[in-house]
């Protein structure tokens, strides 16, 4: 995954996949991506862009329109979106920006391009039912404070609920391989 702004390197013709934007436009939430006329309202109103040097929703939409599939899907900035939907509310072209970003994330997740922190959380949820492993010291502190033990996680029911999610299936498969 790239750490820099996804749109800064010069573009090579070989990178361009002209079908990418049509693929996004066929997916639920991505339908209106072709309407974007690059006004920049989404970026100027985005609370994350205000505090990030690299995250720009307008740029992600532009890159998708240009067909820069791999740059978009390999970009870690894709995962900075807080899904607040301000951009969707403000877009004058009715592009569902937050949903387009969700669609891009789903495609990225299908090919395993997910920041390590989310991969670790996923593994933890699938194994224990908790998003992260509670340290023994913390459990001891609870006990000392007279608090009841934490309820047991139910990873089985979580696995059942997430059945069919490609990223989860890939994560589970990897876990099985590592367990061999």
**From candidates 68, 72, 81, 113, binder to ligand SF4 by CB under 6 A:** 81
Binding residue (CB under 6 A) for ligand SF4 from 24, 61, 108, 114: 61
Site string for ligand SF4, 85-114 (x = CB under 6 A): xxx---xxx-x-xx--x-------------
Is 48 among the residues that bind ligand SF4 (CB under 6 A)? yes
Q: How far is the CB of 32 from ligand SF4 (least distance, A)?
A: 9
**Local structure of 12: helix, strand or coil:** coil
Is position 83 an interface residue for ligand SF4 (rule: CB under 6 A)? Answer: yes
| Closest CB 55 distance from ligand SF4, rounded Å | 8
Taking Cα atoms as reference points, which of 122, 12, 120 lies closest to residue 70? 12
d(CA 177, CA 95): 41
Is 63 near ligand SF4 (CB under 6 A)?
no
> Contact region for ligand SF4 (CB under 6 A) — 7-15, 37-45, 63-71, 136-144?
37-45
Task: For residue 5, give the nearest of 79, 56, 43, 67 by alpha carbon.
Answer: 56
Helix, strand, coil % over all residues of the chain, rounded to 5: 60, 0, 40
- Per the CB < 8 A criterion, the answer to whether 77 and 6 are in contact is yes
Q: Measured in Å, how far apart are the chain's first and last C-alpha atoms?
A: 27
- Residues near ligand SF4, by CB under 6 A: 36-42, 46-48, 57-58, 61, 81-87, 91-93, 95, 97-98, 101
């Amino acid at each position: 995954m790239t750490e820099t702004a996804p749109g800064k390197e010069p573009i090579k013709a070989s990178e361009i996949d002209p079908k990418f934007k049509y693929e996004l436009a066929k997916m639920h939430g991505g339908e209106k991506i072709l309407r974007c006329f690059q006004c920049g309202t989404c970026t100027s109103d985005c609370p994350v862009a205000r505090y990030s040097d690299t995250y720009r929703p307008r740029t992600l939409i532009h890159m998708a329109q240009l067909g820069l599939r791999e740059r978009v899907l390999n970009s870690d900035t894709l995962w900075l979106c807080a899904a607040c939907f301000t951009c969707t509310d403000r877009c004058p072209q009715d592009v569902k920006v937050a949903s387009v970003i969700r669609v891009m994330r789903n495609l990225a997740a299908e090919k395993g391009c997910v920041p390590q922190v989310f991969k670790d959380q996923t593994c933890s949820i699938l194994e224990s039912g908790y998003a992260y492993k509670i340290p023994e010291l913390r459990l001891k502190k609870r006990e000392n404070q007279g608090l009841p033990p934490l309820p047991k996680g139910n990873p089985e029911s979580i696995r059942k609920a997430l059945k069919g999610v490609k990223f989860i299936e890939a994560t589970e498969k990897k876990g099985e391989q590592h367990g061999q």
